[in-house]
Structure 1
Amino acid sequence: MIAVDDLVALVRNYNPKTNEPMIRAAYDYGQAMHSGQFRKSGEPYFSHPVAVAAILTEQQLDDATIITALLHDTIEDTRSTYSDVSQLFGSEIADLVDGVTKLTNLQLSSTETKQAENFRKLFMAMSRDLRVILVKLADRLHNMRTIRAMRPGKQHQKARETMDIYAPLAGRMGMQWMREELEDLSFRVLNPEGRSSIIRRFITLQKETGDVIHRITSDMRTELDKVGIEAEVFGRAKKPYSIWRKMQEKKIGFSRLSDIYGFRVITQSEAECYAALGAIHSRWRAVPGRFKDYISQPKSNGYRSIHTTVSGRDGKRVEVQIRTRQMHEVAETGVAAHWSYRDGERAANPFAVDPAKWIASVTEQFDGEDDHDEFLEAVKLEMYSDQVFCFTPKGDVVKLPKGATPLDYAYQIHTRIGSACVGAKVDGLRVPLWTRLKNGQSVEIITAEGQTPQATWLDIATTGKAKSAIRRSLREANRERFAKLGHELARAAFENVGKKATDKALELAAKTLRVDGSETLLARLGSAEITARAVVEAVYPNLTQRAEAEVEPLRAVVGLAHGQGFERAACCQPLPGERIVGLAHRGKGVSVHSIDCDVLADYEDQPARWLDLHWADGVHPPVYTVTLDLTITNDAGVLGRICTLIGEQRANISNMTFLDRKPDFYRLEVDVDLREAEHLHRLVSALEAESNVASVHRHRDPSLANAPAAAE
């Protein structure tokens, strides 16, 4: 365990004016509170808070953050209280410690709805003081470094949570070094064989090629010396997980992977960054499409650097990052640079981002998301996104996440422009709204008066901001119709447990589900944003559990009367995992439809025939047939590759019909056997990623609406 003198020395190295007595007092208090407690490894428990504090000194953080690290587990794990900490160390530190305690109690890897609510709390804590999450990230880093002492099941759970949540969050905050270490530590637990394989191949490669890093850094220094640029040059092999991820994304082996080495050039000034870029490009050939200038267009977390990839010795590709010393400090610590100290003063780094502005930019679109799942989707889209930069016709720059479409671009400019969008031009050419934008493209949005957002836009948009605005507009446009449908669904659902959907019951459900009134609840129920089952559970949780227990065995659909037959509607072909409703047909059983099926509109005036249904767990047939409408390029071997791709996704083709044959494109319908909605989503995503697939969508045909047989 690090001694208090050593910890104080670490802080004094960058902050000679540190409040040494306060740090010593916090150290002594924390040690006393944790006395007699031990970690799974057998070490004294207080060794953990001290290690967390030491990690934060590497980022040269302020005294309050260091003291919070020393005390971050006292309120949760000892007899210490908020009042005790506040009295001894002040309200600022007490609030920080309390914030970390609340974050520790969040189960971010739990079920989707609870996870979404916990993400809300996470971002609320961050918005109050970002130092809370800095301590939490350091806490998670040390726990991952010492994870071997945990039982295997717990190791896997923590590693998955770290990989899915904390590593991307560290990256989004600009703390790239921490993201890489968290990913690699998680990778070691989640896929030890894969990581060992990468390391073995690295060792073999070094034996075959020698010290490539030393040779390339020497070459770069020589080229920079020729043009009189004083700069630090250093290189490293990329982390095993980074290499593994590239191999998986590109579906290639280690031997075919090119840019496995990364190099950094640290200059004295911004002008020298561009001069160094010129020197490197004059010596080595630049790889097209691999240049990014984050100096002229910095990331929202303050990151600035020039990225380029060149063909180095023996044709091997290497990635080069060029930045100044101040830019490098922000690149290492990200948003944390705002609290960094040097020589006893807050570091005045011009590139450090104001945390308040940063957190506002991150959470801006979340405010409009009332639904848990939509909020979670928006958070993850924001956390995991890389960026592309596009230009308006006037030359202004618009930042968008990787994979964004012209529709996302339109909503990024203004919600009004997005809602009125009817088309787009990219670099002067008319393109479909689902086109993926690339760096440097110029985008012009075509609008029309009277245009309103379409439901299909939700599949085109990729940003949380665009999706939120589209959903909001659709909700408002269809509110009355959805409210009417929601009322009938609520009535049927309550009757199913022997109760009535009274105004009082609906108001209570709205309050429990944190929805603004019963009318909003019914509208969201009718639009499939909330299930009728969730509404009933909000009022009568015990009754829904009892009704579930009384479901007939081996019935795939819950909510039918005993012996009542059912059949999937051919018009919409619903899948397990999708919201469904039933239409009763006299003497013929029930047809099961997706909630968004167009056929349902024909039965709005017949509410007595509607049944609130949902899929049962674990009793489905092995496959369900779904029809996909595909447009593919008319080239040799394309159809074979599409069939192979479908097979790789473990989906079986049961029928194929060609609808249209053109010299350049084929349009066809393919019947595929799938297990559930997520299986369909994975298949469609894989097909959309195939360059020879121009479009793919689920086929819906209202003319195929069917009445089921009397028995199933």
Structure 2
Amino acid sequence: MSTPNSLEGLLAKSSAYLSDTHVQQIVAAYDFGALAHAGQTRKAGGAYIWHPVAVAEILAEIQLDHESLIAAILHDVIEDTPYTKQDIIDRFGQSVAEIIDGVTKLGKIEFNTPQEAQAESFRKMMLAMSRDIRVILIKLADRLHNMRTLGVMRPEKQRRIARETLDIYAPIAARLGINAIRIELEDLGFKAYYPRRFATLEQAVKKARGNRKEIVEQITEAIQTRINQEGFKAEVVGREKHVYSLYKKMKKKRFSFDEVLDIFAFRVIVEQAEDCYRMLGLVHSLYKPLPGKFKDYIAIPKANGYQSLHTLLFGPYGVHIEIQIRSEMMHEVSEHGIAAHWQYKQTDAGTQASAVDVRAQEWVRNLLEIQQSAGNSLDFLENVKIDLFPDVIYVFTPQGDIVTLPKNATAVDFAYAVHTNLGHACVGCRIDRQLMPLRSVLESGQTVDIIKSKETQPNPTWLNFVTTAKARSQIRHFLKNQHSRSAHDLGQRLLTKAMRVHNMAYSGLSEDIITKLVGELKLTDWNQLLEEIGLGERMAGLVAKQIHDSLLGKDDHIPHATDANGHHQPLAISGTEGLVVNYANCCHPIPGDDIIGFISSGKGLVIHRQSCKNVKHYSNQPEKWLDVDWDPSSEELFAVEIQVETKNQRGALALIASEIANTKTDIDRVRSEDKDETFSLMNFVVLVRNADHLDELLRHLRRIPIIDKAYRIENINH
């Protein structure tokens, strides 16, 4: 059978790097494919066979092996013709048949189908990739040719295909390091999805290219001249960002087109890896580098195997010059990614190229492990995006459900993402079965188990580290309501106590008195007054005196205290007063300690131990101090700091933390430092019920052989 011009392009490209025997096998595949597809046509026009031949030609451009090219030519035979997998095995071998079978199973990926079908397609894609990565390479080339001929489709179908190309196929090409295919997929997808934006940017680039040509040529000549002077062998080329890359940068950084084009980009390709660093010194001697703008992707390659040196320089005329320096092999890996594995596997460079293959296979294997944990296709659909969209993380609930969160999200963000009530009630978390602080930043693939308590409530400090809008808004909403309720309740208790001094009872206040006082103080209502007292913005004693003074001479209207017996009654503190009763971090008071309260504007009531050194500091404001005592019925947990002196040995911290947990005591935070060569100091902030609970904990710790001392931190006057 003859070989028309369309086949000539494939044969020209493949014969440049394949043996004559392999090229003849490609011709045989074409003959078989043309026979199988006889009578079939493409929507774009012409015989169907020219589509798979064009797919094979794309793969030949990145120098994929002969089996891949044969499989590309025949990738629709099993699905669209009467021929079977066994027919392929008989003619072209088991390996080619398995690749085609893998592509066939991906053949009906439709990303606008219902979620289950979409998810199952993703599962098949990863399973096929795990068996042979060449399956996805053929699928990428197939998508690229479809994008090149997209114009025959209806506009709405063009947009759908363009969207899935930008969302799925281009990121997969990027993850596998195949920049040559990624860049074209992105530009074609952008052009089809936003045709006007693409046309505007493309026109602007063409116009700017003429204005920049002279500068680019001058810089290229200067670098090349210096290279020649030093006796180097290297190629210098000016590099233009493709249209979609410009668009993303303008959108992300909110740059104008002129700002993006301020940077002139060049690529310097040297012979060997060791020449890259010598070339870096050479260009730095030619143009001054910008501090902090050097990146070494040779020593630390990107996840997809990309290697290069990146540097930013001050060039002539005040322009910035971005230079990438890489070896010839690094350049091939950069352009062809995992495809370079087949290109180099018979050469001395094979070790490095194989490393790229290992990275890709490891990525696919990790996704398959996550799929097995997730259990169903919908979960897996989300997880395939883990490395494709690095600004998003995917973590698991203990039941295997997936929660999508932004990068740097914490356990609290996770709790609120699962359910608002779980967020409100969380007190701790286990990440991959390890007890961790709630502020722990999560990573993709982790399993997060939230520990909750009915008695707990959101902590305002969470707002310092949560990242999701839902968590932030729900915490603020709760705190606002809780703050108002707590301030109201505390204000009423403080006013009740202050009125007793004047032999008045809060319960006896009449509507007339309340209305009169609200008017005199120019408040909205009585609740506002109580909230201001609770927040420390208005002194309860002054309000009580104002009530008394306004009723002087009207003794029959003064509400007498029913429990006035001449004894001084301190305010009872239970720990359930919410956000307007705070426990001082300087002395960490707990039930059983002698305590005193300080009215702080905006914070409400701050509880200190009477022995705390800060009590003396505030002693010049006696009107703000309040006698308080513990409510004996309180069952709340209170933070207290202890210090442990322990022998230096491996695992000491884990042992002590475990022993603390054995006493049913929670750890809020911990820090450790070396005291000397023999001992370490470990400070734990633990949550206890009262002083007896603390004493029991300390006695338990002192019995541990590696612990020399264990005691409560005393921030007091001696």
**TM-score (norm: length of structure 2):** 0.54
Task: Using the TM superposition, give the Cα deviation of residue 187 of structure 1 relative to its aligned residue in structure 2, in angstroms.
Answer: 0.8
Task: Using the TM superposition, give the Cα deviation of residue 336 of structure 1 relative to its aligned residue in structure 2, in angstroms.
Answer: 1.1
CA contact (8 A) 2:174 2:304 kept: no
Task: Using the TM superposition, give the Cα deviation of residue 350 of structure 1 relative to its aligned residue in structure 2, in angstroms.
Answer: 3.0
Match of 1:464 in 2: 444
Q: 2:52 aligns with which of 45, 49, 52?
A: 49
SS at 1:380's partner residue?
coil
CA contact (8 A) 2:263 2:321 kept: yes
CA contact (8 A) 2:410 2:439 kept: no
Aligned ranges for residues 428-467 of structure 1 at < 5 Å? 452-453=435-436, 460-461=441-442, 463-466=443-446
CA contact (8 A) 1:74 1:80 kept: yes
**Stretch moving more, 199-208 or 235-244:** 199-208
Q: Kindly tell me: are residues 225 and 154 of structure 1, through their superposed partners in 2, closer, same or farther at Cα, counting changes over 3 Å? A: same
Match of 1:89 in 2: 92
Match of 2:375 in 1: 370
Aligned ranges for residues 26-175 of structure 1 at < 5 Å? 26-175=29-178
Q: 1:361 aligns with which of 344, 360, 363?
A: 363
> Once the two structures are aligned, what percentage of the paired residues are identical?
40
Aligned ranges for residues 538-557 of structure 1 at < 5 Å? none
Q: Kindly tell me: are residues 96 and 227 of structure 1, through their superposed partners in 2, closer, same or farther at Cα, counting changes over 3 Å? A: same
Match of 1:384 in 2: 389
1:15-38 Cα distance to aligned partner (Å, 9 max, x none): 225423422221111001111111
Work out the CA distance in 1 between the residues paired with 2:149 and 2:244.
19
Task: Using the TM superposition, give the Cα deviation of residue 312 of structure 1 relative to its aligned residue in structure 2, in angstroms.
Answer: 2.4
CA contact (8 A) 2:306 2:333 kept: yes
Work out the CA distance in 2 between the residues paired with 1:150 and 1:329.
34
Q: Kindly tell me: are residues 386 and 237 of structure 1, through their superposed partners in 2, closer, same or farther at Cα, counting changes over 3 Å? A: farther
Match of 1:25 in 2: 28
Work out the CA distance in 2 between the residues paired with 1:121 and 1:352.
26
1:35-61 Cα distance to aligned partner (Å, 9 max, x none): 111111212111111111111111111
Task: Using the TM superposition, give the Cα deviation of residue 374 of structure 1 relative to its aligned residue in structure 2, in angstroms.
Answer: 4.6
Match of 2:350 in 1: 349
Q: Does 1:216 align with 2:225?
A: no
Q: Kindly tell me: are residues 274 and 313 of structure 1, through their superposed partners in 2, closer, same or farther at Cα, counting changes over 3 Å? A: same
1:603-636 Cα distance to aligned partner (Å, 9 max, x none): xxxxxxxxxxxxxxxxxxxxxxxxxxxxxxxxxx
Aligned amino acid, residue 378 of structure 1: N
Task: Using the TM superposition, give the Cα deviation of residue 182 of structure 1 relative to its aligned residue in structure 2, in angstroms.
Answer: 0.4
**TM-score (norm: length of structure 1):** 0.55
Match of 2:238 in 1: 235
1:545-603 Cα distance to aligned partner (Å, 9 max, x none): xxxxxxxxxxxxxxxxxxxxxxxx999989xxxxxxxxxxxxxxxxxxxxxxxxxxxxx
Work out the CA distance in 2 between the residues paired with 1:406 and 1:296.
29
Work out the CA distance in 2 between the residues paired with 1:287 and 1:154.
46
CA contact (8 A) 2:6 2:50 kept: no
Q: 2:318 aligns with which of 315, 318, 326?
A: 315
SS at 1:44's partner residue?
coil
Larger radius of gyration: 2
Match of 1:272 in 2: 275
1:156-206 Cα distance to aligned partner (Å, 9 max, x none): 111111110000100110111211110001111111111121122223323
Match of 1:226 in 2: 229
1:420-439 Cα distance to aligned partner (Å, 9 max, x none): xxxxxxxxxxxxxxxxxxxx
Task: Using the TM superposition, give the Cα deviation of residue 348 of structure 1 relative to its aligned residue in structure 2, in angstroms.
Answer: 4.2
Task: Using the TM superposition, give the Cα deviation of residue 225 of structure 1 relative to its aligned residue in structure 2, in angstroms.
Answer: 2.5
CA contact (8 A) 2:305 2:359 kept: no
Match of 1:338 in 2: 341
Aligned amino acid, residue 383 of structure 1: L
Work out the CA distance in 1 between the residues paired with 2:70 and 2:119.
30
Aligned ranges for residues 190-209 of structure 1 at < 5 Å? 190-209=193-212
1:347-403 Cα distance to aligned partner (Å, 9 max, x none): 74332135355322344262433365553443223123399xxxxxxxxxxxxxxx9
SS at 1:452's partner residue?
strand
1:82-102 Cα distance to aligned partner (Å, 9 max, x none): 122122222211111111111
Work out the CA distance in 1 between the residues paired with 2:234 and 2:382.
43
Task: Using the TM superposition, give the Cα deviation of residue 323 of structure 1 relative to its aligned residue in structure 2, in angstroms.
Answer: 0.7
Aligned amino acid, residue 24 of structure 1: V
SS at 1:19's partner residue?
helix
Aligned amino acid, residue 379 of structure 1: V
Work out the CA distance in 1 between the residues paired with 2:56 and 2:124.
24
SS at 1:64's partner residue?
helix
Aligned amino acid, residue 163 of structure 2: R
Q: Does 1:299 align with 2:282?
A: no
SS at 1:249's partner residue?
helix
1:251-275 Cα distance to aligned partner (Å, 9 max, x none): 1211222455431111122222111
Unpaired stretches in structure 1, ≥5 consecutive residues: 388-402, 409-446, 482-568, 575-658, 660-666, 669-712
Aligned ranges for residues 563-582 of structure 1 at < 5 Å? none
CA contact (8 A) 1:52 1:142 kept: yes
SS at 2:304's partner residue?
coil
